[in-house]
Structure 1
Amino acid sequence: MTYSPRQPSIISRTPWWLLAIALLFVVGLWAITADAGYSQIFRALAGGVVTTLWVAFFAFVAAIVLGLLVALARTSQSRVLREIATFYVEIIRGIPVLVFLFYVAFVGAPWFVSAINVLLNPLVQLGWLEVMTIRDFDFVWRAILALTVCYSAFIAEIFRAGIEAVDRGQVEAARALGLSRWNTFRFVVAPQALRTILPPLANDFVSMIKDSALVSALGVQDITQLGKVYSSGTFKFFETYNVVAFLYLTMTISLSLLVRLLERHLRGRQR
């Protein structure tokens, strides 16, 4: 008779930190559903969840596009493009997100509106368009623009690392076979670089959701701003910020677990 070792249970194989987080989530969910005060706070802040996710998602997609362009410039054979892209990355990464947010909202936005008015002045003179005012540039879009520029510098470095991780010999072989630069990037570099950049890119999206709380400084009605307004009117600071933290934790931890599954899936495919 052969002896087969006893397989460990699912609970014993589950990390303790994950069990603690699950317990914390259950307690928070129970408080929101069972306590009338917490339920009222949750309803007051629920609208901010949509704003937070919308701002983060839109800014992140735009940052990916801009970051890819900057990364391609940084890996370009043109020294001028490399120097300009490097200057952009180093400057943007050296400025705190909140400072850049204020700069875009209160300095960059008026300049942008003035430039638009100068470009469209002939159409305004003909009566086809009206003069654009600073009020027409909503604070939500100013916040999205600021987050896009800030995160594009970090995402550019992720893309650059992924592109440079591809063996140079494969690129030279593709070029020797007659592939154009675009087709070499599309069929040789991009598929391999994607496996490298996906996990850190997903982690950056988690960070984007957390940093989107800074847009409350501009009065954007996200979770943080609604929590600040509600707590200042009811003086329920402890309960309100418990719900604010619970909402952010629910979003960020869920995404973090998805990132872990993605990393495990990619490691399994590479074996």
Structure 2
Amino acid sequence: MELIDTFFNWSILVESFPILLRGLGNTLLLGCTAIVFGCVWGLFLCMIRLYGGRFFRYLAIFYIDIFRALPILVVLILIYYALPMAGIRFSSFTSAAIALSMVLGAFTAEVCRAGIENISRGQFEAAAALGLPFWTTMRKVILPQAIKVVVPPLTSNCVSIYKDTSLASVVAMPDLLKQATDAQALMANPTPLIGAALIYLAFLWPLVRLVSYLEERGKRQMAR
């Protein structure tokens, strides 16, 4: 009973639920923002990495390698605490969105590169024979085929980014984890943290299953 009263106190969970929902709204907004900007930035990096001039290719490779190696927490702390010393200040939400987007962009660039390089050179040659400009070839021929390859790993990266939104609590952004921590301190009971964990599970588990479904579908399509 002591375990249940401490970690699974129903009355405290009900009382803290509105607080957790406010945090959930901020978490969803942060995750969607980071995913949109991170994917766009990653596709841009991929194009530079594959088809840019030599200097810009090496610059993109350097960026991708660095931000795939750096923990998101380090990037977030640098943006939120170090940049103000140079006169550049962002809110906690903006700092978290930038940090998550920068890291997701690096991983997205590699996923997109793998997808594009999976397309045979014959597709490029056929498009060139038809007189299609490069960007038209990418938009109408290459990318539609590459999407089938990149969707499963890209979806998996997006799920990881949603989990990493919990790091925004470090810079006092009122996300789901920060709200749960505040509710725990207010009610002197860890039940709100269990509630936050259940909410994370409720909206991330379907996404995890979606990744598995997309991977299985991709394998079936490749086997045909």
Same fold (TM over 0.5): yes
Gaps of 5+ in 1: 1-30, 114-133
Match for residue 194 of structure 1? Answer: 147
Which one of 178, 181, 194 corresponds to residue 131 of structure 2? Answer: 178
In structure 1, which of residues 211, 233, 236 is the aligned counterpart of residue 164 of structure 2? Answer: 211
Shift of 1:193: 0.3
Are residue 254 (structure 1) and residue 206 (structure 2) matched?
Answer: yes
Q: How far apart, CA to CA, are the structure 1 residues paired with 2:54 and 2:193?
A: 50
Return 257-266 or 63-72, whichever deviates more.
257-266
Pick one of 67, 91, 98 that aligns with 2:73.
98
Change (3 A) 1:204 1:175: same
Q: Could you tell me how far 1:181 is from its partner in structure 2?
A: 0.4
The gaps in structure 2 that reach 5 residues or longer are 1-7
Query: Which one-letter code corresponds to 1:257 in the other structure?
Result: R
Instruction: Kindly state the Cα deviation for residue 249 of structure 1 after the two structures are TM-superposed.
Output: 1.0
- Corresponding position of 2:101: 148
Question: Which residue of 2 is the match for residue 242 of structure 1?
Answer: 194
* CA distance in structure 1 between the aligned counterparts of 2:114 and 2:84, rounded to whole angstroms: 32
1:255 maps to a residue whose letter is L
Q: Which one of 38, 51, 59 corresponds to residue 34 of structure 2?
A: 59
Amino acid at match of 2:192: T
In the other structure, the counterpart of 1:163 is: 116
> Structure 1 residues 205, 156: closer, same or farther in 2, change over 3 A?
same
Query: Counterpart in 2 of 1:22?
Result: none
Going from structure 1 to structure 2, the CA distance change for 1:217 and 1:207 (only over 3 Å counts) comes to same
Does the residue aligned with 2:15 lie in a helix, a strand or coil? helix
- In the TM superposition, residue 183 of structure 1 has moved relative to its aligned partner by 1.2
Which of 200, 209, 223 is the equivalent residue of 2:176? 223
Which amino acid is the alignment partner of residue 252 of structure 1? Answer: L
Counterpart residue number, 1:49: 24
Give yes or no for contact 2:12–2:187 (8 Å, CA) kept in 1: no
| Percent identity over paired residues | 33
Could you tell me which amino acid in structure 1 is paired with residue 117 of structure 2? Answer: E
Number of the residue aligned with 1:233: 186
CA-atom RMSD in angstroms? 1.8
Residue 220 to residue 77, structure 1, CA distance change in 2 (3 Å): closer
Corresponding residue number in structure 1 for 2:92: 139
Equivalent residues of 1:155, 1:201 under 8 A apart: yes
- 1:97-137 Cα shifts (integer Å, max 9, x gaps): 10110001122355463xxxxxxxxxxxxxxxxxxxx4xx3
- 1:12-91 aligned at under 5 Å gives the runs 35-76=10-51, 78-91=53-66
Distance 2:152 2:72 in 1: 22
Q: TM-score, normalised by structure 2?
A: 0.89
For 2:151 and 2:86, locate their aligned partners in 1 and report how far apart those are by CA, in whole Å: 36
- Tell me how far apart the structure 1 counterparts of residues 71 and 135 of structure 2 sit (CA, whole Å): 35
Q: Could you give the per-residue CA deviations for residues 39-69 of structure 1, whole angstroms, max 9, x where no partner exists? A: 1122221111110010001111000110001
Q: How many residues align?
A: 216
Distance 1:251 1:163 in 2: 31
